[in-house]
Amino acid sequence: MDRPLHVLFLCTGNSARSILAEAVMNHLAAARGRFRAFSAGSHPRGQVDPMALQILQEHHVPSDGLRSKSWDEFARAVPMDFVFTVCDQAAAEECPFWAGQPMTAHWGLPDPAAVTGEAERRKAFREAFLVLKRRIELFASLPIASLSRLALQQQVKEIGEAVPLSSPGPVSK
């Protein structure tokens, strides 16, 4: 392929999990030029959660240009090779048609933006970041060109199931 593989991370609000995934994927893939990540939401909040930006900064992951955007920006516009949902609500929604017949998988995580209390939110965002980073590392290490479509589909599905949260912990109200 003469271009990087396009990966779209979807969530409902596109303010936390999908933003983290986009930034991490682009950061890890930048040196190799193998992937180009995007993120979007079915009902974007319109702004990136400040805690997501703090966590990215703490881990030296660039956040320039990140913004909360609608998945309508990507429907039929940019051919996607992979589309990953990172929240359960977006996984259950009817998605637009994606140009390029992308492979899809659900890599769900609890919403760190829904957690209250400063320490609890920081912990939830850090956990989401680490899980997404590990999943993305596993995905980026796959021998994509040598796998059949069926085998690749199974691999990306298993990545979402194989890297759980270390401890779900209670959500403070």
Query: pLDDT tens for residues 16-51?
Result: 999 999 999 999 986 678 899 999 998 889 899 999
Q: Does 173 have pLDDT greater than 50?
A: no
- Cα–Cα distance between 57 and 63 in angstroms, integer? 7
pLDDT for residue 101: 76
pLDDT for residue 170: 41
Select from 42, 47, 38 the least CA-distant residue to 15: 47
Q: 162 or 52: which carries more pLDDT confidence? A: 52
Given strand 103-106, what is the order of strands in its sheet? 35-41, 5-11, 82-85, 103-106
The model carries a pTM of 0.88
Mean pLDDT of the chain: 86
Q: Does 118 have pLDDT greater than 90?
A: yes
Q: In the beta sheet, which residues pair with residue 41?
A: 11, 70
Q: Look up residue 74 and give its two tokens.
A: 């990507």
Q: Does 121 have pLDDT greater than 60?
A: yes
Q: Which residues 6+ apart lie within 8 Å of 59 measured at CB?
A: 129, 133
Pick the range with the lowest mean pLDDT from 19-33, 51-65, 79-93, 114-128: 79-93
Q: Does 90 have pLDDT greater than 60?
A: no
Map out the domains of the chain with their CATH numbers: 5-160 (3.40.50.2300)
CB 43 within 8 A of CB 92: no
pLDDT for residue 25: 96
Q: Look up residue 16 and give its two tokens.
A: 């936390």
pLDDT for residue 77: 73
Q: Does 84 have pLDDT greater than 90?
A: yes
Pick the range with the lowest mean pLDDT from 4-13, 37-46, 98-107: 98-107
